[in-house]
Amino acid sequence: MDRLLVTGGAGFIGSDFVHYVLANTDKTVTVLDKLTYAGSLASLDGLPSDRFRFVQGDICDAALVTQLFGEHDAVVHYAAESHNDNSLSGPGPFVQTNLVGTYTLLEAARATNVRYHHISTDEVYGDLELDDPERFTEQTPYNPSSPYSSTKAGSDLLVRAWVRSFGVAATISNCSNNYGPRQHVEKFIPRQITNVLDGVRPRLYGDGRNVRDWIHADDHSSAVLRILERGQIGETYLIGADGEKSNRDVVEIILETMGQPTDAYDLVVDRPGHDRRYAIDWSKLREELGWEPQYRDFRAGIADTVAWYRENESWWRPQKAEAEAKYAIAGQ
Ligand code: NAD
Ligand code: DAU
């Protein structure tokens, strides 16, 4: 598997994976990305030009996708509409990209016999109560809440069907919330960091006690590479790093890191259908594939992330006004 095709490689996690693979292996990488509002060519700066190629295009373009599959040994599929709040205000692109796009890729995998890895989310399992002792496992029934998570759940089910019915050589991973550099400022952690940099108080939905299970994007990338190389065809692997934190905890760490009073935030109108808590049991990945996360210190990871946004205003500034204008409409 020397030649990788990465869809959505100009986005947050896809670009992290591309940087990670090119820094840690001898593989070549082609990125296929439509460059929606969420994609940024600047996220791919500095990559070795002899091992990296960028193709602008849509994963729903069957002719382009089939041609690219034929030129590669494996495909890692990150491209998606990824933001829950956008899926509530406009679900159409989520159905198109996440469902029709995945279907288009699976048909190309079927036609070309190329190895396929599907990137998905823990949100397909719905949510947990704050005091539930259980965490999500590979056996947890699907129960998605939002248009985003339901289209991701549907895309996972398409992959399972194409494996069983057509023998497509696919694996699936479902990961918890990622943080790190190059994440769009619409998302929780970069939104609050860039708000503080702009002198604006962070905004927490509802009571701020919802819990997310945070993992550094580099740990997600190392896990995906491990599954691609050693995972068993047809299997699903959950990826996490024991990073459960309430949104209040996260904002307090950001404020402290940035030298602000830890109560300098506001509670705003809640997200409709807001999932209460996610938590991942990643023991299958550890026991079967020997993977371990490297980033165990969340405060240190946040400090690095704050430093990245401080130093890379030219990367995020062009996104900021549009993202905040969308939140203003929702009163958030
Ligand atoms: P992102 O929104 O930052 O990036 C998505 C990328 O996909 C962008 O570069 C965009 O231009 C591209 N894209 C969108 N529609 C496309 C299309 N039709 N054709 C080609 N390219 C298209 O998303 P992200 O946060 O990096 O998430 C990447 C993947 O990881 C998604 O599948 C998401 O469901 C999954 N995931 C994300 C997280 C997280 O915490 N962000 C956690 C688990 C899983
Ligand atoms: O769990 C994995 C998922 O994590 C991925 O599949 C999604 O692509 C990714 O966007 C993320 O989804 P969330 O909805 O959990 O992430 P978001 O960054 O939008 O919000 C994280 C938490 O913070 C959530 O409880 C909502 C809350 N929030 C968010 C924003 C933007 C706030 O309280 N205030 C905010 O301003």
Is 122 marked active-site?
yes
What is the Cβ-side half-sphere exposure of residue 300, based on CA atoms within 13 angstroms?
A: 4
- On whether residue 227 sits in a domain, the answer given is yes
Domain housing 45: 3-179+214-239
Give the full edge-to-edge strand order of the sheet including 52-56: 52-56, 28-33, 3-7, 74-77, 115-121, 170-175, 236-239
Is 123 marked active-site?
yes
- On whether residue 266 sits in a domain, the answer given is no
CATH code for the domain of 28: 3.40.50.720
Give the pLDDT confidence of 23-36 residue by residue, as tens digits: 999 999 999 999 99
State mean pLDDT over 268-289.
Answer: 98
| Angular region, 328: left φ>0, alpha ψ -120 to 50, beta rest | alpha
Q: Among all ligands shown, which has an atom nearest to the Cα of 271?
A: 2
Beta-strand pair 211-213/244-246 = antiparallel
Give the pLDDT confidence of 134-146 residue by residue, as tens digits: 999 999 999 999 9
- On whether residue 306 sits in a domain, the answer given is no
Res 172: pLDDT: 98
Q: Is 0.90 surpassed by the pTM of this model?
A: yes
Give the pLDDT confidence of 135-188 residue by residue, as tens digits: 999 999 999 999 999 999 999 999 999 999 999 999 999 999 999 999 999 999
- On whether residue 52 sits in a domain, the answer given is yes
Res 1: pLDDT: 81
CA of 307 to the centre of ligand 2 (A): 21
Confirm whether the ipTM is greater than 0.85: yes
Distance CA 309, CA 203 (A): 18
For ligand 2, atom 30, name the residue with the nearest CA. 188
Ligand 2: residue of 89, 143, 212, 275 to mutate (most ligand atoms within 8 A of CB) is 212
- Is the CB of residue 122 less than 8 Å from the CB of residue 285? no
- On whether residue 117 sits in a domain, the answer given is yes
List helix spans (H) across 180-331: 188-197, 217-230, 247-257, 283-289, 298-311, 313-329
Domain count, the chain: 1
For ligand 1, atom 15, name the residue with the nearest CA. 80
Which is nearest to 81 in space by CA: 25, 134, 8, 21?
Answer: 8
Res 307: pLDDT: 98
Q: Looking at ligand 1, which atom is closest to the CA of residue 8?
A: 7
| 103, 148, 179, 278: the active-site residue | 148
State the maximum Cα–Cα separation within the chain, in Å, rounded to a whole number: 57
Which segments within the chain are labelled E, that is strand? 3-7, 28-33, 52-56, 74-77, 115-121, 170-175, 178-179, 203-205, 211-213, 215-216, 236-239, 244-246, 266-268
- On whether residue 14 sits in a domain, the answer given is yes
Give the pLDDT confidence of 183-204 residue by residue, as tens digits: 999 999 999 999 999 999 999 9
- On whether residue 250 sits in a domain, the answer given is no
Distance CA 221, CA 204 (A): 28
For ligand 1, atom 30, name the residue with the nearest CA. 78
Res 325: pLDDT: 96
Res 174: pLDDT: 98
The SS3 of residue 10 is coil
The SS3 of residue 56 is strand
* 82 Cβ below 6 A of ligand 2: yes
Percent of the chain with pLDDT over 70: 100
Q: Among all ligands shown, which has an atom nearest to the Cα of 194?
A: 2
Q: Among all ligands shown, which has an atom nearest to the Cα of 65?
A: 1
- Is the CB of residue 111 less than 8 Å from the CB of residue 66? yes
CA of 217 to the centre of ligand 2 (A): 15
Average pLDDT over the chain reads: 98
Res 78: pLDDT: 99
The SS3 of residue 29 is strand
- On whether residue 245 sits in a domain, the answer given is no
Distance CA 69, CA 72 (A): 5
